[in-house]
Structure formats: structure tokens, C-alpha cells
Amino acid sequence: MRKLVLTIATVLAAPMFTGAVPASASLHETAAPSCAARPAESNATAAATVKVWLAGDSTMADPKSSCPVGWGNKFDPLFNDQVTVVNKAVSGRSIQTWLYESNVTRTKNSAGECVVSPNTYTQRWLDMLDPAKGMQPGDYLFIQFGINDGDPNCPRHVGPARYQSLLTTMVDAAKSRGAHPVLLTPVAAITCSGSTAVGNRGFLSPTTAAGTATGAPVIDLHKLSYTLYNTLKLCPNNGDYSKGAVGAFFCNDHTHFEAAGADQIARVVAKALRDQKIGLAGYLK
């Protein structure tokens, strides 16, 4: 009987952890408690999940074949069971075609931007905006485009100002629902200058500017990825992406990832969460 009483008292005294980051908390400053600091949870609390919604292109998307594999496909296993990753990235999309799909015409307006008509969202974004089934308070939205947006032709073409504006639209939509947006610069392809991997993507400044304007954290995945390539000594390269360390990391091109490469990029993003003290880091294994 004494042991039973002590056990009940211990449970009642233990603090409860809900798994949600308070709406008023700063994304840069607030982290969920570490695994070591968490008390035993009730079944109801353990079942609660934080959803991490991913919006991006082929470098993030789930695979349709053995290659390419987007890093978003390898993100969920890095978290504990309180996190569910919902990967809505789609191959071949710019931020504008991801949002508007076939409504983006092949005609440019006087500002040089592709005309969107009608100005209605794709079902994928509408699903994420749905009050009942979409983003909820405490969820996260990761946004990473910039691979296809530099296409000079419509419908994929997006100019820097338009790119920043669309990022801001998505960030504001997430925040209005109590979710936490995280912006990422586009992941680098493998481009060698001699024995050094170098940057090769655009839309870096608009991404940073959108983060500054909205208060959303920005993960510079572009720099982090080519830094990883240097660590792995993927350069020099003679243009053959099918052999050696480069072949193990990339598909037979300079852009898309084999499963092993996608896993390493996902881990780079996870490390950035910890390094930048973004609250979601508290759920990492």
C-alpha cells in the first residue's frame, strides 16, 4: 500500500508536457524540452502530434522511383513519435506553380511575371489551409523553392520580388493559423571549382529578406549543402555523376539525390534546427 501511494503521488507531482510550443514564444528562442528532461507522459499526451508540413520541389519531394529522393522523405525518421512530417513537395514546381499549378499561364505581364488566371490556389495548398485538417497551432511549415523558379519561361518563371511576395503570403498564412513557418534557401547542386564545391543557386536574397520582414527563421540550406559536399570531398568531378562518392550521393545528374544523399541533407536541416534553436529541435531523436 505504501508503494502504491508513493507512486500515485509521484505521478500527480510530475509536470505535464503537451508537445506544443506556446503561440507567444519566439521561434529562435523556444525549444521543446529534451528527451532527458521529459517526464513520463499520459497516453493522451503521447498520442498528440505536431505536424511538419513541407512545401517545395523535387529536391524535397517523396520519390516516385529509386532516384531521385527528396530530403523531405528522410526527415520524419529523425523525430520522435510526437512529430508527423506531411510532405507536400512536388517535382518540377516553382513556388508559383506549386501554389497555382495550371492557372499560371504562359504569358508574361508588363512586369515580366507570368499571368495567373484565375487567381485560385491548388488543392494541395487549400488542404494545408483547411481549418479542420490543415495547419494547426503548434505545427510547422517548411518552405523551400528556388530550383525551378529561375526558368526564363512561363509558367515556372518567378522574379525575385514576386518570389519574396509569395514566400511572405505562405508565411503569413501559416502564422495566422498559429503554425510556425521556416524558410530554406534552395539546396545546392554539385558544382566544382577545382577541388572545391561552390554555390550555384539563386533566390538567396529574397528568401533572407522574406525571413527578415516576417520574423520567420531562415535555414541557409544552400550554403550548408555545398559545405557538406566539401566535407565529403565530392570535388573535383569530371562530370560523371554515376561513380564514386558523387554517384552514391547524387542521381546521374548534378542536382537530385540518391536515398543516401537525401538522408544526409535531411540531417543537415535537423542540425540547423538545433544550431538555430528553432523550437522543433526539441522533438529530434
Check residue 177 and give its pLDDT.
Answer: 98
Q: What is the pLDDT of residue 48?
A: 66
Residue 182 carries which side chain, given as an amino acid letter?
A: V
- For residue 37, name the pLDDT band (cuts at 50, 70, 90): very low
State the pLDDT confidence band at 206, using cuts at 50, 70 and 90.
Answer: very high
Asked if pLDDT for residue 267 goes beyond 80, the answer is: yes
Contact status, residue 257 vs residue 69, Cβ threshold 8 Å:
yes
Average pLDDT over residues 1-11: 38
pLDDT in tens, 84-117: 999 999 999 999 999 999 999 999 999 999 999 9
Instruction: Judge whether residue 28 has pLDDT over 80.
Output: no
Q: Taking 50 as the threshold, does the pLDDT of residue 42 lie above it?
A: no
CA 53 to chain centre: 8
Asked if the peptide bond before residue 68 counts as cis, ω within 30 degrees of 0, the response is yes
- Tell me the average pLDDT across 17-35: 37
Mean of pLDDT values over 164-183: 98
| pLDDT value at 4 more than 90 | no
pLDDT of residue 38: 42
Q: What is the 3-state secondary structure (H, E, C) of 96-144?
A: HHHHHHHHEEEEECCCCCEEECCCCCCHHHHHHHCCCCCCCCCCEEEEE
DSSP assignment string, 19-44: S---TTS-TTT--PPPGGGPPP--HH
- In the chain, what percentage of residues exceed pLDDT 70? 83
Orientation angle between helical segments 160-176 and 204-214, nearest 10 degrees: 40
pLDDT of 9 strictly over 80: no
Q: How much is the pLDDT for 47?
A: 54
Asked whether the whole model's pTM tops 0.75, one would answer yes
Q: Are 181 and 171 in contact (CB under 8 A)?
A: yes
Interval 54-73: pLDDT, tens: 999 999 999 999 999 999 99
Average pLDDT of the chain is: 87
Distance CA 76, CA 74 (A): 6
Match 549543402 to its residue by C-alpha cell.
Answer: 225
At 223-254, the pLDDT tens digits run: 999 999 999 999 999 888 889 999 999 999 99
pLDDT above 90 (res 27)? no
The residues facing 143 across adjacent strands are 55, 183
C-alpha cell at 146: 528556388
